[in-house]
């Protein structure tokens, strides 16, 4: 029986395609270790737009790994900040964690570590809103794959050493204020202007909703934004408003 299992393993290794070899090399470079189960990383880099049905009829994409990776990433960053800032309160820690793991930050890191070269998606719809978080979503799925493939301890080190330390300046994150919605509110109150944030449309897709938000100053639309949640859409709209107002 052991000989049969070994034979199947050898046949699997022999059947590796050039595409598999490129993915294996890329993952080894990004993660810092050779994958044990390459299938996990194939799944982690498969966007829902190119999902394949398995024998049970379930469409396999990186969404489940994304869910898992999001939880592991959040827990690791929370632990990292908790130890780094032993005298800071819960509000401070929560705010800094959200700035590290927000979609824009994860998209940036995903691009920088080279996910654009290995993620599979339907390029015909690259401009759609669901693809704006492509690299951030794939990064979370990758974290989920690393966790399942190498275990929590290795995954924890991967997040800190390969993602956080090289790409985040924690002191700069603390000094900056990317909460554009707060900026608009503060400006409007200072200038004695009325303001409002409105969700003007919600588009239902198969796997998600797409929100469109507007910022109104004195009942005039100043900025329009988009996002996969109301909060994200409002922040994007607030960013556009800040740019229009020179803030």
Per-residue pLDDT tens for 8-51?
555 455 567 888 889 999 999 999 999 999 999 999 998 887 77
Q: Is 55 a catalytic residue?
A: no
Catalytic residue among 63, 66, 137, 140: 140
Q: Is 140 a catalytic residue?
A: yes
- Write the pLDDT tens digit of every residue in 125-143: 554 445 568 899 999 999 9
Other CB atoms within 10 A of residue 188 CB: 18
DSSP state of 216: E
Catalytic residue among 70, 137, 149, 234: 70
Angle between helices 230-245 and 180-190 (to 10 degrees): 50
Say what the pLDDT of residue 1 is.
Answer: 46
In angstroms, rounded to a whole number, what is the distance separating the alpha carbons of residues 94 and 38?
Answer: 34
- Distance of alpha carbon 3 from the chain centroid: 42
Is 187 exposed, middle or buried, given 0-12, 13-18 or 19+ CB atoms closer than 10 A?
middle
């Amino acid at each position: 029986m052991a000989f049969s299992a070994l034979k199947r393993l050898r046949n699997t290794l022999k059947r590796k395609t050039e595409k598999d070899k490129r993915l294996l090399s890329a993952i080894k470079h990004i993660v810092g270790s050779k994958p044990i189960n390459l299938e996990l990383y194939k799944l982690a880099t498969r966007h829902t737009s190119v999902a394949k049905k398995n024998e049970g009829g379930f469409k396999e994409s990186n969404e489940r790994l994304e869910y898992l990776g999001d939880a592991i990433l959040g827990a690791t960053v929370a632990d990292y900040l908790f130890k780094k800032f032993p005298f800071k309160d819960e509000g401070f820690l929560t705010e800094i964690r959200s700035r590290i793991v927000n979609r824009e930050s994860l998209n940036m890191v995903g691009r920088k570590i080279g996910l654009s070269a290995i993620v599979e998606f339907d390029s015909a719809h690259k401009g759609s809103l669901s693809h704006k978080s492509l690299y951030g979503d794939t990064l979370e799925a990758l974290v989920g794959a690393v966790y399942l493939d190498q275990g929590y301890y290795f995954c924890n080190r991967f997040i800190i050493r390969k993602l956080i330390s090289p790409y985040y300046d924690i002191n700069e994150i603390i000094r900056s204020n990317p909460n554009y919605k707060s900026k608009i509110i503060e400006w409007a109150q200072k200038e004695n202007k009325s303001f409002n944030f409105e969700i003007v449309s919600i588009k239902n897709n198969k796997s998600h909703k797409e929100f469109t938000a507007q910022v109104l100053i004195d009942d005039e639309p100043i900025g329009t934004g988009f996002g996969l949640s109301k909060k994200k859409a409002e922040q994007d709209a607030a960013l556009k408003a800040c740019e229009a107002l020179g803030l």
